[in-house]
A = this chain, B = another copy of it.
Amino acid sequence: MDIQVALQNRRTVRLFQQEPVPDQDLAELLDAARMASCGGNKQCLRYQVIRDRGLAERVFAQTAWAALVQPKRNPQWGSTAPLNFIAVLAPVKGGTVCHADAGAAIQSMQLLAFAKGLGCCWLGAIQRDRLQEILEVPAEMQVLYLLAVGYPAEAPIAEDVPGDASVAYYLDEQQRLHVPKIRRDDLAIWK
């Protein structure tokens, strides 16, 4: 897929088909993540790839989804929940640079996933203490973010809005998710 197409059309997906993602695709997402920019090339991030169905269910139970349209976009285990997660781990003392690195790595994974016909949801509202136990993460590391990965069962739409408009995403009457994005001229000053 052309990169421009992926950059403009990739959207976050919160409803998934019940088919697991092939290992080869998950491996290629990791390759995208590890080649992303990172501070000082220090590569502070590590990953866990969750494929085991029982473990995925336990991980899923530690996540919160789409606060603005709850409960309508809460995926349900066994029907619309993702079957795969990539946990992004960082040193507990890693600081803000690890969040920046994670953003770059996760965005790279999401773009490639979209090109492969997959969908992702980057999850920050997660029970980190419980995930630490469930995923047996060593004490010096933490689960910074989760990336849910699967075959999409929804197709959200972006729409340009002025800088002073609401950016709250919403469901229309057909239960399709609309995602307001501030137009370019209201985000940038040219000098």
> Which of A's residues lie within 8 Å of B, judged by CB?
1-4, 6-8, 10, 12, 23, 27-28, 30-32, 34-37, 39-43, 45-52, 55, 67-68, 96-97, 99-108, 110-112, 115, 122, 124, 135, 145, 158, 167-169, 179-182, 184, 187-191
Contact = CB atoms under 8 A, between A and B. Distances in A.
B41 A189 contact: no
A48 B189 contact: yes
B6 A43 contact: no
Given A37-B107, A103-B100, A188 B12 contact: no
Nearest to A28: B4
A168 B41 CA distance: 7
Given A31-B8, A96-B99, A99-B103, A41 B179 contact: yes
A185 B107 CA distance: 21
Number of copies: 2
Given A37-B12, A191-B52, A27 B103 contact: no
Contact of A107 (B36, B99, B167): B36
A101 B103 CA distance: 6
Nearest to A110: B37
A31 to B, nearest CB: 6
Nearest to A109: B7
